[in-house]
Every structure is written in C-alpha cells, then in structure tokens.
Amino acid sequence: MSASTNPKPATKASAAPVRRLTVSDIARLHADGQRIAMITAYDYPTARLLDEAGLPILLVGDSLGRVILGYENEIPVSMDDMLHHAKAVVRGAKAALIVGDMPFLSYATPDQAVHNAGRFLAEAGVQAVKVEGGRRSAKTIEAITRAGIPVMGHIGLTPQAINQIGKVRVQGKTREAARELLSDAIAVQEAGAFAVVLELVPEQLARAITDRLQVPTIGIGAGAGCSGQVQVLTDLLGYEEWHPRHARPYANLREVILGAARAYRADVEAGTFPGDAETVRMDDDVINEVLGYSVLDRPSRSIPAGGIPLDRDL
Ligand code: KIV
C-alpha cells in the first residue's frame, strides 16, 4: 500500500486524523499491482484490530448468519441483522473501506436493491455493497451504481443460491460452466462493479478472468492468480477444528478461548479469582461507620446484648 493510501491506524495514542479508504484508493492499489487483502468483520472490537492491522477492505459478509448467528446457511440473514453488525464494524474501523453484503432477497428488484443499498450507506455508514450473481444481477448492479453506490460483484459459488446449486462445490469446471463464469465476470464489470469476488473457482479460470478484467478480482478458494484474497474471519482465526480447504488458520483462537475459559472457571471455583490485584478496598473506618460499628462494638469485641440499637443512624 502506498503511503498516501495507508492512513495511520486509529489508536487512542495517535491524534493524527484518519482518512477512510475509498473505491478510488482500491483502484489505485490495483493499478499499482498491489494485492488486496480483504477479510470479513462482524463486530466493533475485531474491526478495530483489523483496521489497526491495515486491512484495506473489511466485508460485513452475510456469512454472519453461519459463523456468528449460528444459522445453517446465509438464507435467514435479514437487512436488520446486516445493518446492526455493519454499524458496529463502521464504529470500530476508521480507515478501511467497509463493504456491506446485501442479504438474500434484499435486492430482488432494482428498486428494492437501490433502497436497501442506500440503507447500508445512510444508516450503517458503509462505503460500498456486495451483490451476488453475474449476468442475472447485472441490471441490479447497474441500478445501484447509478444511484452513486459502489458495488462489489460476487460470482462462482454464490451461497445465497445454495438451494439451486445443491451443495458447496467448485464452480466453472466444465467448458460450458467456465464460459458462463467468464461472461458473468464481464457482465458484472460492465454493469459498473468496482471489484468482483470469485468464490470456489479453479485456479486457471480465476487467473484468466483476472487477466481479462480491469477491476480487481478478490478470490476465496480461487487460487493465487486473483488481484486479492478474502477470507472468513473465523476460518482465519481458527475458531473451529474444521476449516475449508482454501482457508489457512493464522491463529488457533479455539484453543486460546478454551484455555482462557477453563482457567477462569478453575480460578473462580478455587476462590483464587479475584485476587488482590483485581480487588478494590475502601477505608476500614468508613465501612465500619456505615455498618454501625463504633470503637466499642468492632467485630473484635462482643456485640452489645440486643445487637446494634435500631435507632442508630446507618
Ligand atoms: O459473506 C461472506 O463472508 C462472503 C465472502 C465469502 C466473500 O461473501
């Protein structure tokens, strides 16, 4: 990333103003031959860290449904779910370009698409939206971009179409499917998308699409020939024992979280948490007075017969 497109992270210590990246910055990175790292984000504290790490694009993906909300797939995710999480990510990340993923049935008609994409920008504060589908979504992408809203396309495996596709598998392996995917990529670019996600596409086809497009391709399970890569946060951080073949866990948060939770539980059960370091004390004289202990009736001395007088001002 060039100095001009790499604003300082928004830490409390740095008072330097932070400039948010725009789609023009992403185009410049691509023109400079810089590979683009994108990652999904769903909450405020993680978005802060991802921003501090310098990720140029954060995607509030509808994978939210599976990896955060515990649904079986992306279908049940609503606009309200997406807006709620997108707002938190925008509050956390001050420098990254933030893309909101249009959920299932939120862009069934161009009018509805423009309305919901507009909500993403106006209510959540994201800078762009993502729409699944190639030629079938070209009119929608055109309508949204015409409204002044940058769009990222998404072709190959499109999780919202899982009931049509049947199962999660690599797309574009046959002659016909490869030609269709090429046409989809070009249609999405011509409709005005500023970038295109290629999900689960064979390496050679993804590379050929990348070579033929002017806009960057962002691959997931599409090999190293794309202009950039995107990964689902929980795969990258190792929340689960299982991860998809295309993912590389860069951390093992499952073990970190399990270890921390087990150690905490053991300390609470043993009475060793909280200890002195985590405990606040007050002046003994103050608490003694509040509890009605005078010099004469401190715990070391016997409580007067009949207990503490009821008319004492506590
Ligand atoms: O929702 C998501 O996480 C995505 C990525 C897989 C590109 O769409």
Q: HSE of 47 in the Cβ direction (CA atoms, 13 Å)?
A: 25
Residue 242 is assigned to a structural domain of this protein: yes
* Helix ranges, the chain (H): 23-31, 44-52, 64-67, 79-92, 110-119, 138-146, 162-165, 175-190, 203-212, 233-237, 253-270, 284-290
Do 294 and 245 have their domain in common? no
Ligand 1 pocket, mutate which of 63, 66, 151, 158 (most atoms under 8 A from CB): 63
DSSP code, position 188: H
- How far is the centre of ligand 1, averaged over its atoms, from the C-alpha of 146 (Å)? 24
Helix axes 138-146 and 175-190, enclosed angle (nearest 10): 20
Domain final residue, candidates 224, 249, 274:
249
Q: To 10 degrees, what angle do helices 44-52 and 79-92 make?
A: 50
CATH of the domain at 228: 3.20.20.60
Q: What is the DSSP letter of 211?
A: H
Is 60 a domain residue?
yes
**Domain presence at residue 85:** yes
Kindly state whether residues 222 and 311 are assigned to the same domain.
Answer: no
Query: 3-state DSSP: the chain helix, strand, coil percent, rounded to 5?
Result: 40, 10, 45
Q: Which of these three, 226, 249, 272, is where a domain ends?
A: 249
Residue 258 lies in a domain: no
pLDDT, position 296: 61
Strand pairing report for 36-40 and 57-60: parallel
Question: Does the CB atom of residue 232 touch ligand 1 within 6 A?
Answer: yes
Are both 101 and 166 inside the same structural domain? yes
Do 234 and 164 share a structural domain?
yes
User: Measured from the CB, is residue 51 less than 6 Å from ligand 1?
Assistant: no
- Annotated active-site positions, please? 199
Q: Examine the domain organization and report whether 237 and 299 are in the same domain.
A: no
Q: Does residue 313 share a domain with residue 215?
A: no
pLDDT at 2 over 90: no
Q: What is the pLDDT of residues 37-94, one digit of tens each?
A: 999 999 999 999 999 999 999 999 999 999 999 999 999 999 999 999 999 999 999 9
Residue 127 lies in a domain: yes
Per the domain annotation, does 300 fall within a domain? yes
Six-digit token string for 123: 């209510």
Find out whether 38 and 59 touch, Cβ atoms under 8 Å.
yes
Asked if 240 and 105 sit in the same domain, the reply is: yes
Domain of residue 297: give its range. 285-314
Residues 201 and 314 in one domain: no
Total domain count, the chain: 2
At 293, the pLDDT band (50, 70, 90 cuts) reads confident
Radius of gyration of the chain from Cα atoms? Answer: 27
Q: Are residues 65 and 170 in the same domain?
A: yes
- Residue 217's pLDDT is 98
Query: Strand, coil or helix: what is 301?
Result: coil
Return the best residue to mutate from 197, 231, 236 for the ligand 1 pocket (most ligand atoms within 8 A of CB).
197
Residues 212 and 103 in one domain: yes
In a domain, 264, yes or no: no
* Angle (deg, nearest 10), helices 203-212 and 175-190: 30
146-202 pLDDT, tens digit per residue, is 999 999 999 999 999 999 999 999 999 999 999 999 999 999 999 999 999 999 999
Residue 284 burial (10 A CB sphere; 0-12, 13-18, 19+): exposed
Q: Report whether residue 197 contacts ligand 1, using a CB cutoff of 6 Å.
A: yes
Express each pLDDT in 200-209 by its tens digit: 999 999 999 9
Burial category of 243 from C-beta neighbours within 10 Å (exposed 0-12, middle 13-18, buried 19 and up): middle
User: Residue 255 has what pLDDT?
Assistant: 98
Asked if 231 contacts 251 with a C-beta cutoff of 8 angstroms, the reply is: no
For residue 158 and ligand 1, the question of a CB distance below 6 A is answered with no
Residue 254 Cα distances to 111, 199, 242, 247, angstroms:
43, 25, 11, 15
Amino acid letter, residue 213 = L
Tell me if 61 CB under 6 Å of ligand 1: yes
Contact residues for 17 (Cβ-Cβ < 8 A; gap 6+): none
pLDDT of residue 302 exceeding 60: no
Domain annotation covers residue 280: no
- The H-or-E segment that residue 303 falls in is none
Pick the atom of ligand 1 nearest to 159's CA: 8
* Domain shared by 66 and 22, yes or no: yes
Choose one of 73, 199, 218 to mutate for the ligand 1 pocket test, by most ligand atoms within 8 angstroms of C-beta: 199
Ligand 1 centroid to residue 18 C-alpha, Å: 27
Asked if 180 and 293 sit in the same domain, the reply is no
- Per-residue tokens: 92: 């956390």
